[in-house]
Structure 1
Amino acid sequence: MQTEVSETATVDDAVLAADSVRKTFGEIVAVDDCSFEIERGSITGLIGPNGAGKSTMFDCISGFYQPDAGTIRFDGTDITGLPAHKIAHEGLVRTFQITRDLAEMTVMENMMLTPKNQTGESMFHAVFNRDTIERENAEIQRDAEKLLELFQLDHVRQEYAGNLSGGQRKLLEMARMLMLEPEAMLLDEPMAGVNPTLENDIVERIEELNRQEGVTFVIVEHDMDLVMDLCDRIIVMNEGRDLAAGTPAEIQNDERVLEAYLGGDS
């Protein structure tokens, strides 16, 4: 028997909401009138077949693409079309399928560069407020050390980022984004190319940050067992549209989802 799941199900407290978002590339419609809401403090999976529009939707939400139509709201504020750095400074950050660390800088240097509104970024303050900058840098370094310890990267703090394993680089990217003290994180295939040991580490960090710090996560991931175990709620996209939204149990028993994704060729 099919479990009916609302295609535009609302949540009690939405930290992120997409309303009728559309994105095209020439004649290709990548995201087609897609709407969904992400509950504050949740771990939400965004799934769908290859080409469903998941990563493009992430790009529209996080400011890397300008939507052709629709509205995106974060924490009650319209962020549609804002540049990526401004959205990140609002508290919504993302990671990528291919990590974007600075390979020729050390792990610690990657961490130190990330925090927003550093006093030393201003030429005036760099010359006349050196004491303030030194205090600020010491605080940033302490925060970086705590995160590197949390992500079990403290032993490679002076290693060049480009020398890390794929899994370690995924952990570093998450740690870097947390230097921005985000309210929500979009993780685009965080487990891709990661060995099982580091995959467990990433899952543990996500759960710990969600439970203890209240960080909201939205995760694009192809490992269905992991999604079903990790996520509180799942949104399904197909052919650029939102197909269904519900709990893992509801999604697993929805015939539309089984046909479009779980029972498909992808």
Structure 2
Amino acid sequence: MQAAETSVDADEVAKFEAMAAEWWDPNGKFRPLHMLNPCRLDYITGQIAAEFGRDLSAEAPFAGLRILDIGCGGGLLCEPMARLGAEVVGVDAAARNIPVAETHAAQSGLEIDYRHGTAEELAAAGERFDVVLNMEVVEHVADPRAYTATCAALLKPGGLMICSTINRNAKSFAMAIVGAEYVMRWLPKGTHEWRKFITPDELTQHIEAAGLAAVDAKGFVFNPLSWSWSISARDLSVNYVTASRKQG
């Protein structure tokens, strides 16, 4: 059997391998992600509930939904999805992330199917999901267009992909690289490469080329005064998130 092609960038995987043990430390190298996570979860849960007609106040509102988190890391998104009743698969190309995620899930009493591998391998195996979470990954792959097509292939008809990334402009360079890596030292230097950031128009082109229909786009905006993140309907200048649906 021919091995599935992959859009994984080995250098990018190595960066996150080196930080694997710190996934669940809110004051460690993933502090920015811990700060952003409540905002991400508000968007994700709201979009899933709207698309699948689920009541978030109900017990296990995502029961019956199969959700894939690509680039799952230590499980910061997988665990909340499992608590909401979904069947969750988390996949990551960085092998060291998987035992960290498995250990934390076991400590939390959660059953999550964590796998070391790639989106391409899952697609080649015929895996299909109601929801694909594609959060802060597309700016780290070798071929964003091919990778987006793989994500689309992983969706069932009527399935939903939620994809977040970083815009490419002068402001994102100042905030996501100079500010986050050099001034605040939230992330190790070199975590991001500005040239690999993706504009909303470029991401929309990738999404539509993959046969998906864009249904929503919002910005994640950091307020340095309140030291908090919020969702913006207008400001997609740095961090932003999209939702798209597979026709079925």
Assess same fold via TM > 0.5: no
- The answer to which structure, 1 or 2, has the higher relative contact order (CA under 8 A, 6+ apart) is 1
Tell me which structure has the larger Cα radius of gyration: 1
Smaller-chain TM-score bracket: 0.3 to 0.5
TM-score, length-scaled by structure 1: 0.34
TM-score by length of 2: 0.36
